Amino acid sequence: MKTKNNNILVLLCLMTFFLIASGYTLLQDDWVVPEKYKNMENPYTQVEDEDEIGKDLYSMHCRSCHGKTGLGDGSKAFELESDVKDFTSKTFKSQSDGSIYFKIIIGRDEMPSFDKKIREEEDRWMLVNYVKSF
């Protein structure tokens, strides 16, 4: 009887550990954006992207993970450990332009930084505008 109680206790401890670890993983998904970026004004909100800079940059750097229509279902999305965000979701669309800018330019974990690949400020904002269009 004592062995059975010990087994139950061990099982309960393992289950508790698993639940705590799962909760920690969910909490880690929050991407903290510095206030400086959250409050950034997008100087290109009213600018027409006549040269399709945003679309071209998206095709080159983002489509393979985020998909052709921004659903997070690109060809490489399923190879990643992290959850690829859906640009059509209310959660994504509720972010400030500056928050999206920060995430694109700074990156995190499997989301690469594009600070060195997309150097022009206007290009960065055109990409922000494009991903918001989904």
82 pLDDT higher than 80:
yes
Same domain as 87, residue 127: yes
Same domain as 88, residue 55: yes
pTM of the model: 0.78
Same domain as 38, residue 24: no
**Which CATH number does the domain housing residue 75 bear?**
1.10.760.10
What tokens appear for 111 in the block? 């989301």
Same domain as 70, residue 11: no
CA 41 to chain centre: 20
* Kind and range of the H or E run holding 124: helix 121-132
Domain residues for 8? 1-30
d(CA 29, CA 32): 9
DSSP 3-state of 125 = helix
d(CA 92, CA 22): 23
| pLDDT 10s digits, 33-66 | 999 999 999 999 999 999 999 999 999 999 999 9
Q: Given this model, what pLDDT does residue 87 score?
A: 97
d(CA 74, CA 86): 10
Same domain as 65, residue 106: yes
Q: Given this model, what pLDDT does residue 28 score?
A: 42
Same domain as 44, residue 102: yes
Same domain as 70, residue 123: yes
Same domain as 45, residue 22: no
Same domain as 97, residue 61: yes
Q: How many domains is the chain built from? A: 2
Beta bridge partners of 108: 111
Same domain as 88, residue 45: yes
Burial grade of 75 (CB within 10 A; 0-12, 13-18, 19 or more) = exposed
Residues 77, 67: contact at Cβ < 8 Å?
A: yes
Same domain as 52, residue 3: no
Same domain as 109, residue 64: yes
CA 129 to chain centre: 16
